[in-house]
Amino acid sequence: MTLARKSLTIGIASALALAGLGAVLAEGDGKSGGGSAVPIDASGSFEVSGVDVDVKGKDADAARYGGWRLAQRKGWEMLSRKLTGKASTMSDSALDSLVTGIVVEKEQIGPTRYIARLSVLFDRNKAGGILGVSVAVNQSPPMLIVPLEYSGGTGLVFERETAWARAWNRFKSGGSTVDYVRVQGNGPDSMLLNAGQVLRRGRNWWRSVLDQYGAADVLIAEVQLRREYPGGPIIGIFSATHGPDRQKIADFALRVDNGDSLDTLMDAGVQRLDKAYQQALALGQLGTDRLLATRPPGAKAEEKPSDEATEAATPTPEPSAAAGTAVSVQFDTPNVGSVNAGEAALRGIPGVRSAVTSSLALGGISVMRVSYDGQIASLHAQLEARGWSVQEGPGVLRIRRAGGGGGGAQPAPTPQATEAPNGG
């Protein structure tokens, strides 16, 4: 399982045309392994979004180059005003060393004109040092974010790709105080995280799921989409909850005027939910559930009698085969069928009293607890005789199937998500 603590697949757009300028990033629709996209920025850079430029040049490349230069200057002024209360300026060469990326939100390219809305990313440490502000970000424990979308009455998480999951993968969370654990949505993700899982409250199952992704708790971000007619206005009803009991953090509604603006609606919803989660964290409302953090007690080991008590007792009988030998067997489980097949193969060996999977890791290596009437070396030999490749350790066997592998452009209105009236 591959974890993604951040967001969207990015194409580097015409970077060679920008000699000396910060890396230029453009949004893409790339997919990886049928799952969600991968992150574009996990560095925690300062981001200044919504930088509008309208530049003319002798040709399209010159106009675009001038637009990016202008975006750097405007972005720095906006960042300094936000952090210090007053605008400051820097030379283009100095800004080149500060800018870590330019993300294209929307652009129109004409023969001699470039119109765009851009986001500019500035190196957090360098920019903070120049502006004299603190750059430290105290984050929450790792929180697994589950993007639940209801559309047409059907709830989806990773059963198939959704606009809501893509929006969370686009979101650049480096500056957020919430440490989001984001999932690509491929492999076993669609089985472990689905619309049915979010309704469960059992801590044991949630603990197993969270351990798979290295998270301490869960955040469920939900959106319900209501379309007035195909291609027409869309209303999104957003809800932020925390933990297996789905403690409500915030809810609100946003609206866009046409279906082409769905991504705009989703991005606005992600921004609002992130602010709500950050505020809840500051108020102490995102504490980890103590039942998730507490492991259930294991079985107590039987106390061994002292040497004196042993000598006074009756002579020890001959070892009985009824007790059996406990062996941990590690085996590959790429899917659910391989779990059942592995257990069946062990149970079919003479002398095996029981074979039960004690640690399940779909897409990885699971562990089976086997009770065997005999020595581990005998079990080793029987497995090899049945075509398994076996490695032996103290009380542990690792088995694999033998031979297996592992004119000018005119400005166009930018869609904006607006607050939906009560009652939607």
* Predicted local distance difference test score (pLDDT) of residue 300: 56
Q: What pLDDT shows up at residue 93?
A: 87
More confident residue, 237 or 395: 237
Q: What is the mean pLDDT of the chain?
A: 77
Pick left, alpha or beta for residue 153 (phi over 0 → left; psi -120 to 50 → alpha; otherwise beta).
left
Residue 234 pLDDT grade (very low, low, confident, very high; cuts 50, 70, 90): very high
Spell out the residues 6+ positions from residue 70 whose beta carbon is closer than 8 angstroms to its own.
53, 55
Give, in degrees to the nearest 5, the angle at Cα 35 between 30 and 38: 55
CATH architecture of 140-293: 3-Layer(aba) Sandwich (3.40)
Q: Among 118, 121, 80, 119, which residue's Cα sits nearest to residue 100?
A: 121
Q: What is the pLDDT of residue 36?
A: 31
Residues 27-37 have pLDDT tens digits of 333 333 333 33
Q: Is the pLDDT of residue 74 over 80?
A: yes
> Which of 11-25, 76-90, 234-248 holds the top average pLDDT?
234-248
Least confident of 65-69, 103-107, 204-208, 358-362: 358-362
Residue 313 clears pLDDT 80, i.e. is over it: no
Q: Given this model, what pLDDT does residue 133 score?
A: 73
pTM of the model: 0.53
Q: Provide the pLDDT confidence category of residue 365 given band limits of 50, 70 and 90.
A: confident
Query: Which of the two residues, 410 and 114, has the higher pLDDT score?
Result: 114
Distance of CA 280 to the CA centre of its chain: 20
Percent of the chain with pLDDT over 70: 75
**Which helix H or strand E contains 115, and what residues bound it?**
strand 113-122
Span 332-341, average pLDDT: 83
Q: What is the pLDDT of residue 172?
A: 80
Residue 191: exposure state from Cβ atoms within 10 A (0-12, 13-18, ≥19): middle
Tokens 């790709």, residue located: 161
Summarised one tens digit per residue, pLDDT across range 6-23 is 333 233 333 323 333 333
- The arithmetic mean of pLDDT across residues 247-270, rounded, is 92
Mean pLDDT score, 43-55:
81
- The lowest-confidence range among 58-67, 88-97, 319-328, 387-396 is 319-328
Q: What pLDDT was estimated at residue 18?
A: 34
pLDDT band at 154 (very low <50, low <70, confident <90, very high): confident
User: Distance of CA 150 to CAs 147, 163, 195, 362, Å?
Assistant: 10, 11, 9, 27
pLDDT at 386 over 50: yes
Residues 6+ apart with CB under 8 A from 96: 20, 21, 22, 72
Torsion over CA: 313, 317, 320, 325 (sign): positive
